Chain A
Amino acid sequence: MLKATWFVLAGMAIVFATLSLLVLVMTALNRWLRPKPEARAQATRAGDV
């Protein structure tokens, strides 16, 4: 069962590592590519961005 324990730990580690990197990328995209003010105003009127 020891190898099963390591499998569980390694699997969850890969999941969290991958998704943590994805959060960083999403945060960076949101920061660098945020909607321009005029686009935001248009989007607010259109109900979408």
Chain B
Amino acid sequence: MFEGELLGVFALTWQAAVMLGLGGLLIYLGIAKQVEPVLLVPIGMGVILANVPLGGLTEAGGLLAVLRKAGIDTQLFPLLIFIGVGAMIDFGSLLERPYTVFLGAAAQFGIFGTFFLAYFLGDGGLRLFDFSFKDAISIGIIGSADGPTSIYVATMLGSKYTPAIVVAAYSYMALVPIIQPPIMRALTTEAERRLVMPTRAQKVSRRTRVLFPIVTILVVGLIAPKATPLIGTLMFGNLLRESRVLERLSQAAQNEMANIVTILLGLTVGGMMVARDFLRLETIMIYVMGVVAFALGTATGLILGKGMYLASGKRINPLIGAAGISAFPMCARVVQRVGLEANPQNHLLMHAAGANTAGQIASVVAGGAALVLAPFFA
């Protein structure tokens, strides 16, 4: 008489138990180890809520199902997050050093290179994993090092691996300080890392700062129209910040809105991690691919940085290329730390911040490019 709908314990499968453990692990990492707690704690709780047997939260009409339909399937949550992100970012370092845009562009090879590898391992070559062309693009987008863009592209492409991709994208951002430094040391010489760059840069007027978000929407939107929702919301948030007459709205976007949507987004992403969809060999491979994506992006940024180092007559420190992936501001801080290790007088933070904010724009463009191109190739 206690079976069926009454006692969930009778409906508990080993897969659901594993997921409950995984949810607990994410919460532990967030609280005890402080690994991206803002995201991992809501995601961990979402995993637990979704996998309690007979809880009904992921069934039609359940809280997590409603949130998924309203916020993820419509791409509303990542776009709202982007308004907050735009309001938080100061593009001044980029405007002062426009050449750093190319470092952000080069680092996007992490996306496309990882896509190539995933497709080769999947339907395009070895067929070791169930990765279709669109799944491979969605896996590659982990290399954008940008959670909202990962969610947006993966859901737009309808990848069945969206939850794993999103969790990988967010959790690897916390691992940037571990993944990047060995690659930075391997691809640069001691002399290159020691190079001190001039701290002075051209000054930027307020009118330029106000116009920048608007012209960026136009430039990106006209070339890669599928990126317009992402770049539009990012730059709208930045306009709130730079206008200096919308302080209340800017603060609301950075704090109240970003915080509320982060709670809802985290719970919803966790709620998408139900045992039957998540516990697959492909999920483990997606996590491996995440490391490849971050490493490739870092390496290609560094390689272009070395090209700039030579082309500029050894005036540009190639380390700043590693900040081209868009995990902002963590990458810029890692560059600063590795630069200081080589030379205690070497302060690369502002230069790296330019490349880092460029990476934010470049990852959105790359996501838009992938969405534009997918129908022609998939």
Contact = CB atoms under 8 A, between A and B. Distances in A.
Given A23-B98, A26-B212, A33-B208, A18 B124 contact: no
Given A1-B119, A21-B223, A49 B205 contact: yes
A10 B99 CA distance: 22
A40 B203 contact: yes
A42 B111 CA distance: 44
Contacts of A21: 219, 223
A23 B365 contact: no
B37 to A, nearest CB: 32
B372 interface: yes
Contacts of A6: 377
Interface string A6-46: 11101110111111111101110110011110011001000
Contacts of A10: 369, 373
B28 interface: no
Interface stretch (B54-62, B102-110, B273-281): B102-110
Contacts, number: 119
A35 B116 contact: no
Contacts of A40: 203
Contacts of A49: 203-206
B124 A4 contact: yes
Given A1-B124, A29-B208, A33-B205, A7 B365 contact: no
B358 interface: yes
Max chain A CB contacts within 10 Å: which of B98, B116, B211, B370? B98
Interface secondary structure of B, over-half rule: helix
Interface residues of B, number: 48
Interface residues of A, number: 33
B113 interface: yes
Dominant secondary structure at the A interface: helix
A29 B216 CA distance: 12
Contacts of B102: 16, 19-20, 23
B203 A19 contact: no
B92 to A, nearest CB: 9
A26 B366 CA distance: 19
Contact of A18 (B95, B109, B136, B224): B224
A26 B369 CA distance: 21
A43 B146 CA distance: 34
B116 A4 contact: yes
A12 B107 CA distance: 10
B206 A11 contact: no
A12 B223 CA distance: 13
Contacts of A19: 101-102, 104-105, 358, 361-362, 365
A10 B113 CA distance: 12
Given A7-B115, A18-B219, 11 more contacts: A1-B116, A4-B116, A5-B116, A8-B116, A11-B112, A15-B366, A19-B362, A30-B204, A33-B205, A35-B204, A49-B203
23 contacts: A1-B124, A6-B377, A7-B115, A7-B373, A8-B113, A8-B116, A10-B369, A15-B105, A17-B223, A19-B102, A19-B358, A22-B216, A23-B101, A25-B216, A25-B219, A26-B95, A26-B101, A26-B212, A29-B211, A29-B212, A30-B95, A30-B204, A34-B205
10 nearest A-B pairs in the assembled complex, by CB-CB distance? A14-B369, A8-B112, A26-B98, A35-B205, A49-B203, A19-B105, A18-B223, A33-B207, A29-B208, A7-B377
Interface of A: 1, 3-8, 10-12, 14-23, 25-27, 29-30, 33-36, 39-40, 43, 49
